[in-house]
Structure 1
Amino acid sequence: MQVILSLSNDERSLLKEKLFFDLSEPLTSDLMQLAQTGGAFNFLESKPDIYSLDDGEPI
């Protein structure tokens, strides 16, 4: 709270806009970044690669 109160009015307005922006769905790029950096899939690094680009049929 102290950090927010220390912001200028312009900075608080920008923060409010970011926090309360009414977007019904997250952006694909945001989901991709979250998947890459969030750590939820880190366990896959220790798993063997069982699929390749040659598997299956092209879509």
Structure 2
Amino acid sequence: MGIADKAKNKADELAGKAKEATGRATDDRDLENEGRGQQTKSNLKDAGEKVKDAFRD
């Protein structure tokens, strides 16, 4: 997995955490759920990259 992919996935995860926290603080369930979804998406992309790396080795 390239460094750029790792950085992008981490940035997406952190943005998701920020959205989730903001949604929780403002009692905005839609924003909170959007943040959780963004984190999940980022984690799945990261897992997919790891699988691809495992097959390359």
**TM-score normalized by structure 1?**
0.28
Higher Cα radius of gyration: 1
**Structure whose residues are more often helix by fraction:** 2
**TM-score normalized by structure 2?**
0.29
Bigger RCO (CA 8 Å, 6+ sep)? 2
